[in-house]
Structure 1
Amino acid sequence: MPVPRRLAESLYWQEQRLRGRGPVRERLAQLRSHQERTPAEIAELQFEKLRTTFLHAYRTVPYYRRVMDERGIRDLDSPEDLRKLPLLTRDVLIREQDQLVSDEADRKTLQTNYSSGSTGRRAEFKQDLDFRQWMRAHQLRTYEWCEGWQLGDPFVLLWGSEIYWSFKQLFDRAENLLTNRREFNTFHLSPELISAVLDQLVRYQPKLISTYSNAMHLIAKEAESRNIRIPGLRAVQGTSEPLPPALRATIGRVLDCEVYDKYGMRETNIIAHEQPGGGPMMIQAENVFVEFLDEQGEPCGDGQTGRMVVTTLNNRAMPLLRYETSDLAAPLPRAADATLPYPAMTSVAGRLQDLIVTPAGGHVDAYLFSYLFMRFPEVHWFQVLQRHPERLLVKVYAPGGLRKETARTLVERIHHHTGFAFAVEFETLDRMPESSTGKFRLCVSELGRPALEGSTHG
C-alpha cells in the first residue's frame, strides 16, 4: 500500500539531506520560480549561465583554452558569438577525454558516465555532484509538468539501461519504498516480462509512468489484448526515444491517460519537455543552450529542421560546448497561448543515422514508417534496416504472426509514400530483441548521412 503522499514527500527530502543531496530541494524551488518569469528574463538568465560556463571553460579546461586561443576568442558578447567555436563531435570527445576535464573539477564526487553508443562509438564523460543535483531537480520538475503529479504521488520508472542499474544501491531501493517510487528493469522485453510488468502496474496504480516509448507501447498492446486498464494512471512520460504520433495515440487511447514527450541524453541531462497540458517542447534553458543548424552550419529558421547542437550549463567538471547530438528537430516561435516562458522546439524526429535514404537523394524518417506500421494491430514493434540504396529489411515483432495481406499492404504503402519501389524483405521475430540501453532505433541506415533537404515526414 502506498505511503500517504505528504509523508512520502517529507521522507524523500529527509533522505536526500542524509545522502548529501539537500541542495536538490533548493534548486527545484528555483526552477519552479523561474516558471513565473518572462521570456526575456529567462533568455537573460540563460545567457548569463552560458557566458559563465564559457569563461570557466577557458580558464580551467585545457582543450577549450587551446581552441579559444587558436581562434582568438576570450569572451561572449552575445549567444551568437558561441558559433566562433568548432563543434564538439563524438570523435573529439573520445580523443580529448582528459583535456576536457576542468582543472577545478571536484574529483571526490566525479562519476564517469557513458553515451549509449547508438552512433557506433561509445564515449565517456565526467559529471560531479553539482551536476547530479541539478539533474535530479530538473527531473522532478518535468514530472510535475505531467498532469499535476506531485512528489510523493505513486510513480513508476520503466528503464532498461545497464548503466543506470549498475549505479543502483540498497539506499535507492529503500528510498523507493518510502517515497512511493517503483522501478522495473525492462532490459529483456520478452512477452513474459511485458505481461508481468503490466500486472504489477495494475496492482500498484501509479499516477505517472516514465519509460521508453517502445516499452510502453508494448505494455499498452498487452493491456489492449487483455482488455484491462491501469487504475489511477493520469500520465505517461515517454523519454530517450522519439515518440511517433502513432505510438503516442495507441498509448493514450488504450491506457486512457495523457502522454508527454521528454528529450535528453546522458551527456546533458534533460534538454526539453512538452509543456503542461500538451503543446510544444519547452527547452530547459537553465540547463542547456541549444542551436539548430542546417547542412551549412547556419542557424535554422522557425520550423526548419536541423541538427541539434547543445551546450551544457550545469556541468563545471566537464562542460560540453557546442556538442553535436546528431538529433534532428526545429526551433519554434513562441505561441500566443504558451503557458511557460521557455523557448520552444518540435519533438525530435530522430537521428541523422536513423534516416532511410531514397535513391533520389531524399530521406524518410521513423515517423512515416511508424504511421504506416502502427495502423495494423498485429504489429507491436518494427525496425527498418537499410544496407542497400534500393532495398529495405523490415524486422517485425508480431506475437500472432504477420499476415500476408498486411505485408502486401505495407509494401504498397511504403512504395506510395516514399515515391520509390524499394525491394522489401520482412523478418518476423518471436520476441523483442535485446538492447544494452533499453532503447530501440526504428530506422537504421548504413549508407551514411543524407542531406536534410527534401525530407519526407509522416
Structure 2
Amino acid sequence: MRERLEWLRGNQERSPEEIAELQFEKLREIVGHAYRTVPYYRRVMDERGLRELDSPADLRRLPLLSRDILINEQDRLVSDEADIATCQTNFSSGSTGRRAQFKQDLDFRMWMRAHQLRTYEWCGNWRLGDPFALLWGSEIFWSFKQVIDQVDNLLSNRREFNTFRLSRALVSKLLNELSTFRPTLVSTYANAMHLIAKEAERRGSRIPGLRAIQGTSEPLPPALRETMRRVFDCDVYDKYGMRETNIVSHEHPGGGQMLIQAENVFVEVLDDRGEPCADGEKGRVVVTTLNNRSMPLLRYETSDIAALLKRTGELPYPAMSTVAGRRQDLIRTPTGDHVDAYLFSYLFMRFPEIHWFQVVQTEVHALRIKVYAPHGLRQDTVRTLVERIHHHTGHPFRVEFETLDEMPESSTGKFRLCVSELGGTTEEPA
C-alpha cells in the first residue's frame, strides 16, 4: 500500500499529457485482459470485432454495462485468472433498485486504500498518522470489520464511528467523541456531519484541531457545505465514488474542480443518444475500472449526472463537475423539465429550524416532503417554502409536509435528498 501511495504521489508531478498516456495504457491493458479472460467480454467483443484499443474512442464500441447485466451475467463477468483466494464479494448500495454484487481482489483493495489515503492528503494537508475519523453507516462496511481492523485503527490514529441510526442522542454522542478525539480530518456522509454541525452550533462549540471535512457517498450541496465550514471553521471537500469502482473523483486541494482519479478509472459522460457530451454539458456518467483484474467493469453505467470540464487547477488530472444526484433523483415537472436536489437544498437550508429534509415524488403534480425539525416547523416557513418551490420550479406542485420526530434509519447510512418514483422505476426511499 505504501509503494502504491508513493507512486500516486509521484504522479502528481507529471504533465497532463503523461497522465493521459498512463491512463490509456492502463485502459488498453484492462480491455485486452478482459477479452482474454472474461467470458462475457470475449463474447461481446467478438460480436463487435474488437480485440484491443487503438485509442480511447474505441472503447465506445463496447456496450454499456448496466446494473441488470451485472446482476444477470455475474459468473461470466469474473476473469478466468481471478485471484479467487483473495476475492471478496461486495454489493452495490441498492439505491437504484436491485442490489448487484461484484468481486474485488486484494490488489484492487490495496489500490483502493492507496487512493483513499491520497485523497485524504488533499484535505487540509492531512498526513498519514494524523488523527483521522471516519463516520460511516453502511451495513456492508461494518459486516467486513474484523479485530485486526481495530488494532490497525489504534496504531494508525484512526477512529471509526457508525452513523447507521442518526438519532438525536447519537448526534450528540458523536460530537462529544469527536471533540475528545480531536481529529485533523473527518471523512463522512454530508448529512451526518451537517447534523453534528447543527448540534455544535446549538452548543456554541467546535471540534478542536479539525482542519478539514471530506464529504463522501452522497451529494454535498452548497448549503450543507457552508454550514459545516462556518460552524467548524475548516475546509470542506467533496469526494465522488461508489463501491463498484472505488474513488472516481475528488475536489482539488485548496478547493476547485473535481479531479478524476485517472490511475483508477476512465470516465465518460454521455448524452441520451449515448454520444459523448461536450465539456461542460451534463450527461450520464459511465465508468471503467482500471485496477480490478478479477472482475473488470467496462463502461459501467452509474446513473449519476455530471459534466466533464476543461482542467484549470495545478494538478495534472482530468476534471469533472460535482455530481448533483442520480437520474432518478431528479424531480420532474409536468412539462418534462427536471429539477435537481441542489435547488431544494438551497431553499430548505436557509431555514435554521430544518436539520434534514427529503423530497419524494410519486406523481408528477405532487411532492411529499419529509422534514426533521427537532424544535418544530413554523407555518410561515411552510408557506414560504411552498411559494418558493412554485416560483423556482415554474409549477404549482401540490406540496405535503411530513414532520419527523427523529431521523429515519437508512440501510446504507446515507440519504438521498430527492427520491423520484416516476418513470416506471420504484426506488427505495431512505
TM interval, shorter chain, is over 0.9
Query: Is the partner of 2:194 in helix, strand or coil?
Result: helix
What is aligned with 2:220?
A: 243
Q: Deviations over 1:123-156 (max 9, x none)?
A: 0000000000000000000000001000000000
Letter matched to residue 27 of structure 1:
R
What is aligned with 2:266?
A: 289
What is aligned with 2:187?
A: 210
After TM superposition, the structure 1 = structure 2 runs for residues 52-63 of structure 1, keeping only pairs within 5 Å, are 52-63=29-40
Give the Cα–Cα distance (whole angstroms) in 1 for the partners of residues 52 and 147 of structure 2: 45
Give the Cα–Cα distance (whole angstroms) in 2 for the partners of residues 381 and 295 of structure 1: 32
What is aligned with 2:201?
A: 224
Unmatched 5+ stretches in structure 2: 426-430
1:341 Cα shift? 0.2
What is aligned with 1:309?
A: 286
What is aligned with 1:143?
A: 120
Give the Cα–Cα distance (whole angstroms) in 2 for the partners of residues 339 and 160 of structure 1: 34
Give the Cα–Cα distance (whole angstroms) in 2 for the partners of residues 271 and 282 of structure 1: 8
Give the Cα–Cα distance (whole angstroms) in 2 for the partners of residues 256 and 56 of structure 1: 48
What is aligned with 2:10?
A: 33
1:302 Cα shift? 1.1
What is aligned with 1:5?
A: none
1:275 paired with 2:252, answer yes
Query: Is the partner of 1:108 in helix, strand or coil?
Result: helix
What is aligned with 2:68?
A: 91
After TM superposition, the structure 1 = structure 2 runs for residues 276-425 of structure 1, keeping only pairs within 5 Å, are 276-335=253-312, 338-425=313-400
1:443 paired with 2:411, answer no
Runs of 4+ in 1 over 6 A off after TM superposition: none
Letter matched to residue 46 of structure 1:
Q
CA RMSD of aligned residues (A): 0.8
Give the Cα–Cα distance (whole angstroms) in 2 for the partners of residues 66 and 42 of structure 1: 31
Structure 1 contact 353–449 (Cα < 8 Å) conserved: no
Give the Cα–Cα distance (whole angstroms) in 1 for the partners of residues 214 and 424 of structure 2: 30
Query: Is the partner of 1:318 in helix, strand or coil?
Result: coil
1:166 Cα shift? 0.5
Letter matched to residue 236 of structure 1:
I
1:309 Cα shift? 0.2
Give the Cα–Cα distance (whole angstroms) in 2 for the partners of residues 300 and 189 of structure 1: 39
Letter matched to residue 342 of structure 1:
Y
1:449 Cα shift? 8.2
Q: Deviations over 1:53-106 (max 9, x none)?
A: 000000000000000001111111100000000000000000000000000001
What is aligned with 1:20?
A: none
Letter matched to residue 210 of structure 2:
L
1:340 Cα shift? 0.4
What is aligned with 2:428?
A: none
1:177 Cα shift? 1.4
1:188 paired with 2:142, answer no
Give the Cα–Cα distance (whole angstroms) in 1 for the partners of residues 274 and 220 of structure 2: 27
Q: Deviations over 1:222-261 (max 9, x none)?
A: 1011110001000000000010001101110011110000
Query: Is the partner of 1:303 in helix, strand or coil?
Result: coil
Structure 1 contact 352–449 (Cα < 8 Å) conserved: no
What is aligned with 2:21?
A: 44
Letter matched to residue 200 of structure 1:
E
Letter matched to residue 354 of structure 1:
D
Residues paired across the two proteins, number:
425
1:448 Cα shift? 1.9
Q: Deviations over 1:6-28 (max 9, x none)?
A: xxxxxxxxxxxxxxxxxx11000
Unmatched 5+ stretches in structure 1: 1-23, 451-458
Q: Deviations over 1:253-274 (max 9, x none)?
A: 0111100000000000000000
Give the Cα–Cα distance (whole angstroms) in 1 for the partners of residues 310 and 127 of structure 2: 30
Give the Cα–Cα distance (whole angstroms) in 2 for the partners of residues 228 and 132 of structure 1: 37
1:173 paired with 2:173, answer no
Give the Cα–Cα distance (whole angstroms) in 2 for the partners of residues 87 and 315 of structure 1: 18
